[in-house]
Amino acid sequence: MSGADQREPAAELGLLDATMIGMGAMIGAGIFVLTGLAADIAGPAAILVFALNGVVTAFTALSYAELASAIPKSGGGYAFVREVFADLPSFVMGWMLWFAYMIAGTLYALGFAPNFIELLHVYGVVAPPGEIGAVAIPLLPFAVSPQVGLAFLAVLLLVTVNLVSTAASGSLETVFTAVKVSILVVFVGFGLVSPMFAPAAEFQPLFPAGEGPVAILPAMGLTFIAFEGYDLITTVTEEVENPRQNIPRAIFISLAVTLVVYLAVVTVAIGTLGATGLAEAGEAGIAQAATAFMPTFPVIGQGGAVIVFGAVFSTLTALNAVVIASSRVGFAMGREGQLPACVGQIHHRFGTPFFAIVASSVVMLVAVVLPTQSAGNMSSLFFLLSFVVVNGAVIKLRRERPNMNRPYEIPFYPVPPVLGILLNLSLTGVLIWYLVRTDPLALALTAGWIALGVVGYAVAGSRSEPEPTGDDAEPVAED
Amino acid sequence: MDLRAIVVGGGRVGFHVARLLDQQGHDVVVVEEDADRCDRIADSYFATVIEGNGARPDVLRQANPEQSDVLIGATGRDGVNLATCVLASRMNAEIRTVMRVSDGDAAAGYEEVVDTSFFPEGVGARAAVNAATAGDIQSIEALPGELEIAAIRVIDGSPLAGRSLADIALPRGSLVVSDADGDRIPGSDTVLEPGRTYLVAVEPEVAGEVRQLFHG
């Protein structure tokens, strides 16, 4: 007997499933949560912000495609970097990527809360989002704002689901993503025919007064996280059928489709509500735009409710995706001996990377007290830095292992990875420069997290036995 | 711990060695000279592939022996296998070297230089004899189908250590079939004691997960 009940092993994922996993992670955060914030910084040029981010990220997508086709490991960017770089740099990479996903989880939870309140508001259950005061909870000495409380509960719910069940399968993700995209198509369709849609007026002037085109740079940094989905595809590569063709395809298709969806949605949102209105709505920007122009339907009532539901659904499923992704990165690091061994263990009963999920959830839960914008900034910053390293890994591998079989080769090498490094570094620079002026807390937390990791790594390393220093060591002289 | 393994030679033997290692959850790099074989391995997507002659130091170095735990020389030529094992030991004194030999009698001689050797034709012959004698007793190394019976030790600190079978849930496609002494069929109250070995029947799809559960 092997215990009372048994679990199903993971199923194979087709091209559609893999593509949908990537799109599912991208669509949800970027578009529902960050459009309003991007419009706040860049005005109608938010449309350029998304377009240019798509271009910047395409170079890194090429690097991911080459690495994923050649290195059959499920661990995302961390697994590739671990293969190429020495212990400390690969640890720092994993540490950053792990945090990027965890803080992205916080971002999605914080995006979920106001949209959920908006949904309740549409049906008259509660007052509009801005008018709900803090709620005093018995036993707690301070009042909790409902946004923070809801975000906390959302994380708690999805973490619990993932702790006890491995059913987070690709096919379920396919359904989720299809629902999200359909809702956005409805939004775009009604928006384009709405009498409120006046692009000629709303897109003039394109750039915010007094700031000019430079204003789009910090907005690009903030919304960069909207394009991080392909790292998620590479965390499940070993479950994909015919991976050497399907993974590069899934990466490119998911990026291209997502970009088209984003541009259509942002065009409609700005064309109807205007950049100013969008900016005022913040995290619930798309939802409020929809409420403004959608007609009334039987049964559902106000048509905007569909879009608000879409926002609630999208942020929750994206949160689910990053709970899985962050725990997979933590798990991979645990298995490589770069985090405590228990983080790399499967739970004896649930079959899930239990400790990796618990460890990941702690940061997500604590971070819900941060402002949404800080969470977005930090997540984008960490993804930008990780992507620099991933592009570097491509170049290092090409130089050191020319004979490696690369089923997918980047065209026009070395131009794309070099451009990827330069563009990601420039955005990192712009984002840091912007954070120094507007959000020093996010910057301090970012630096603090990296410092914590490096110090922890050094302490753990000095306590355990000195290991062979790996590929950094000089070859021992042979006699 | 997951091993990082280098398999030199991606032909009939090397291909299956690499695939089995991958199924058990280890990281595998295959070094293979023939371009068609490289494509075939890449299609199967269980190993990183270095295209080239593994007996050449500049090629073998690309498989990163400094950071690997084990190297298996699995080409059809003893000389190449021996050379890669020796080269790998020079690049990393800690690496475990396993050499494929084409003559079972010569194996002992090679083991002065390499850690272990194996003789695929000998193993194949035993499987054939098992089949021919119609299965009064089956070697646990070779079953007729995909199913594998493995003797797996519960490592100290594994997530299963010290727990009863009723307490754990192994993936579907796996079954503990003996108790620690190997003379009883286990019941739900059987405790998996650390340090003891159990016979476990596993389907290839879940072999890696089962190994990770037993070995932490």
> What are the tens digits of pLDDT across the range B141-184?
556 567 878 888 888 888 898 999 998 988 888 999 988 777 88
Chain-centroid distance of CA A171 in Å reads 20
What 3-state class would DSSP assign to B182? coil
Is the bond preceding residue A205 a cis peptide, omega within 30 degrees? yes
Contact residues, chain B, for A351 at CB < 8 Å: 169, 171, 209
Tell me the mean pLDDT in the region B105-131. Answer: 84
* pLDDT of residue B99 exceeding 90: yes
In whole angstroms, what is the distance from residue A365 CA to residue A155 CA? Answer: 7
Q: Which residues of B touch A90 (CB under 8 A)?
A: none
B11 touches B75 (CB < 8 A)? yes
Choice between A250 and B134, residue whose per-residue pLDDT is larger: A250
| pLDDT at residue number B202 | 85
| Residue A73 CB-half CA count within 13 A | 28
CB contact under 8 A, A1 and B48: no
Which pLDDT score is estimated for B62?
93
What pTM did the predictor assign? 0.82
Residue A476: list chain B partners with CB under 8 A: 93
**Tokens representing residue A424 in the block:** 């990601």
Direct distance between the N- and C-terminal alpha carbons of chain B, in angstroms, rounded to an integer: 7
Structural contact between residues A258 and A89, judged by C-beta atoms closer than 8 angstroms: no
Q: Do A341 and B45 touch (CB under 8 A)?
A: no
Residues on chain A touching B67 (C-beta within 8 angstroms): 470-471
Neighbours of B209 (CB within 10 A): 21
**A46-72: per-residue pLDDT in tens?**
899 999 999 999 999 999 999 988 888
Asked, as a colleague might, if the bond just before A213 is cis with ω within 30 of 0, I would say no
What pLDDT is stored for residue B204 in this prediction? 78
The secondary structure element, H or E, covering residue B200 is strand B197-202
Short-list A150, A123, A121, CA closest to A134: A150
**Does residue B77 register a pLDDT over 60?**
yes
Beta carbons within 10 angstroms of residue A366's beta carbon: 13
pLDDT of residue A130: 55
Q: What is the pLDDT of residue B205?
A: 82
Q: What is the pLDDT of residue B8?
A: 96
Q: How many CB pairs under 8 A join A and B?
A: 127
Region label for A145, one of left (φ > 0), alpha (ψ between -120 and 50) or beta (otherwise): beta
Distance, in Å, from the CA atom of B8 to the CA atom of A190, rounded to the nearest integer, reads 61
Among residues 47-86 of chain B, which lie with CB inside 8 Å of chain A?
A: 47-52, 59, 62, 64, 66-67
Nearest to B84 by CA among B76, B70, B72: B72
φ, ψ for residue A300 (rounded to 5)?
-75, -20
Residue B93, Cβ neighbours under 10 Å: how many?
Answer: 9
Close Cβ partners of A420 (under 8 Å, ≥ 6 residues apart):
A56, A59, A60, A62, A63, A387, A388, A391
Which of B19, B24, B41, B48 should be substituted to probe chain A, the one whose Cβ sees the most A Cβ atoms within 10 Å?
A: B48
Report which of A347, A27, A331, A303 is spatially closest to residue B168, judged by C-alpha positions. Answer: A347
B187: nearest CB among A1, A8, A349: A1
B73 has a pLDDT exceeding 60 = yes
Q: Is B55 helix (H, G, I), strand (E, B) or coil?
A: coil
Tokens for B62, please give them: 């690309």
pLDDT of residue A298: 66
Cβ of B188 and A470 within 8 Å? no
Distance from CA of A31 to the nearest CA of B (A): 34
What confidence score (pLDDT) does residue A467 get? 45
Taking 50 as the pLDDT cut, the residues of chain A under it are 1-4, 465-479
Residue B80 pLDDT: 95
- Cβ of A403 within 8 Å of Cβ of B46? The answer is no
Q: Any chain B CB within 8 A of the CB of A448?
A: no
At A478 the pLDDT is 38
- Say whether residue B111 is in contact with chain A using an 8 A CB cutoff: no
Query: Nearest CA to CA, how far is A241 from chain B (Å)?
Result: 9
